[in-house]
Amino acid sequence: MEMLIIFIVALFSFPLLSVPFFMLAGEIMNTGGIAKRIINLSNTLVGHITGGLGLVNIVASMFFGGISGSSVADTAAIGGLLIPAMKEEGYDADFAAAVTASSSTMGIVIPPSIPMILFGLISGVSVVRMFLGGIIPGILIGFSLLLLTYIISKKRNYPKGEKFSIRRVIQATLKSFWAVLLPVIIIGGIVSGVFTPTEAAVIAVVYALVVSMFVYKELKVSQLPKVLIDTGKTTGIVMLVAGMAMVVAWLLTIVRIPQSIAVTILEISSNPLVVLLIVNLFLLLVGSVMDLTPALLILGPVLLPVGLAVGIDPVFFGVMMVINLGIGLVTPPVGTILYISCGIAKVSLEKITKAMLPFLATQVAVLLLIIFFPQLVLWIPNMMK
């Protein structure tokens, strides 16, 4: 009975309300033509470079991640449009799927971020400060993936798009103005304190709905039931996992598992850097066999006290966990995004896993950079404070 009460109470949370709304906003954008216009703008910016469509994939994910806060929504929206296009242009299917999967992990690092909201819920850490902390790491991941994609494309002689034109950039910007304005409103409103992350999620839904139905006119009233049903299915899974994870976290606390783990790690070393390396190695292993949401909700309350014991900033710790477990989304055998990309590209898990290796190495390198230089996460939150 007590566990049932904890399950129900866990779901009666104002910050948690933002999760279904951000997911709904992502579904509306995908159906209503907003994602397509973001891709068109990205194409005018980087499509003229060797491996243009691969670069467009990454830049579009950076834009889209600033709206939906979900890597799954990012993969479905961007991958559904670009993977077939990349295959038609002569890109290897496994490479197209690998680029899509790896770039989609930015969706949970660049604010807004659903996993950061969930971490803030279970830890009491400021969600706004975590959003701010994700800006520089998200940009670092994006530019490192752009560089890697360019190098691979150059070696394989992948095609370029149309020649760069300022006129085309201006035209695409004007056509996608309302789409690009959305992340500015969301992030700007949260950072300035005009509204909370939950209120930002509701505003994102209303804005996306108005733009898709009345400005771009690509979302029809008849499509709304499917959009709502698809969102409901995804939200139901997340909410169920969130509630059960809170119950598990409560049980772990009762039997003093967090304290035992803290003592074990601190017996090895009390050096913050060594502790971070141990925790990250553990999380990389967990991320390969457990999905991000349950891993974050169960292990967050367990591992955060370890970080606090050696003086690690909780905002940094939360952002680091999200980045680390985000890598697990593209790591077999339980990489959710990996399977979505496989399905869209129609390639085997074995082929995409091999193609993912350089992208995984790049993401781990960025993670290590953040571990050794925490100010990459904390500089903006501390400056805004």
State yes or no: cis peptide before 112, omega within 30 of 0: yes
At 2, is the pLDDT very low, low, confident or very high (cuts 50, 70, 90)? Answer: low
pTM to 2 decimal places: 0.85
What pLDDT does residue 194 have?
A: 83
Please tell me the predicted confidence (pLDDT) of residue 7.
65
Poorest-confidence range of 293-297, 301-305, 310-314?
Answer: 293-297
How far, rounded to the nearest angstrom, does the alpha carbon of residue 121 sit from its chain's CA centroid? 17
- The two tokens of residue 242 are 């969130």
Distance CA 33, CA 50 (A): 27
* For residue 68, pLDDT beyond 70: no
- The confidence band for 341, taking pLDDT boundaries of 50, 70 and 90, is confident
Number of helices (H), then strands (E), belonging to the chain: the values are 21, 0
Closest CA to 57 of 46, 67, 73, 68: 46
The pLDDT of residue 8 is 66
Rounded to the nearest 10 degrees, the angle between the axes of helix 349-372 and helix 314-328 is 160
pLDDT of residue 62: 85
User: Which residue did the predictor score with more confidence, 160 or 243?
Assistant: 160
**Among residues of the chain, what percentage have pLDDT more than 70?**
91
More confident residue, 385 or 161: 161
Q: Is the pLDDT of residue 111 over 80?
A: yes
Locate 139 and state its tokens: 């940009």
At residue 92 the predicted structure's pLDDT band, cuts being 50, 70 and 90, is: very high
Instruction: Round to whole Å and give the CA distance between 187 and 68.
Output: 12
Q: What is the pLDDT of residue 13?
A: 66
pLDDT computed for residue 15 by the predictor: 64
- Give dist(CA 324, CA 295) in Å, integer: 11
Confidence (pLDDT) at 385: 67
What is the predicted pLDDT for the residue at 247?
A: 74
Residue with tokens 């520089």: 136
pLDDT at site 219: 87
- For the chain, what percent of residues have pLDDT higher than 90? 27
Over 80: is that where the pLDDT of 358 sits? yes
Residue 225, preceding bond cis, omega within 30 degrees? Answer: no
10 confidence band (pLDDT: 50, 70, 90): low
- The string of pLDDT tens digits covering residues 115-165 is 898 898 888 888 889 999 999 999 999 999 999 999 999 999 998 888 888
Determine the average pLDDT of the residues in 257-278.
84
CB 89 within 8 A of CB 53: yes
| pLDDT of 245 above 70 | no
Tokens representing 110 are: 């660049």
Mean pLDDT calculated for residue range 319-324: 95
The residue-averaged pLDDT of 81-93 equals 88
Instruction: Write out the two tokens for 283.
Output: 């999380």
Residues in the chain: 385
pLDDT, one tens digit per residue, over 269-295 is 889 999 999 999 999 988 888 778 878
Please say if the pLDDT value at position 18 is more than 80. no
pLDDT, residue 376, reads 95
- pLDDT at residue number 369: 96
Q: Measured between alpha carbons, how far is 371 from 280 in angstroms, rounded to an integer?
A: 9
- If you average pLDDT over every residue of the chain, what do you get? 85
C-alpha span between 313 and 334 (Å, rounded): 30
pLDDT of 314 strictly over 90: yes
Average pLDDT rounded to a whole number, residues 27-49: 85
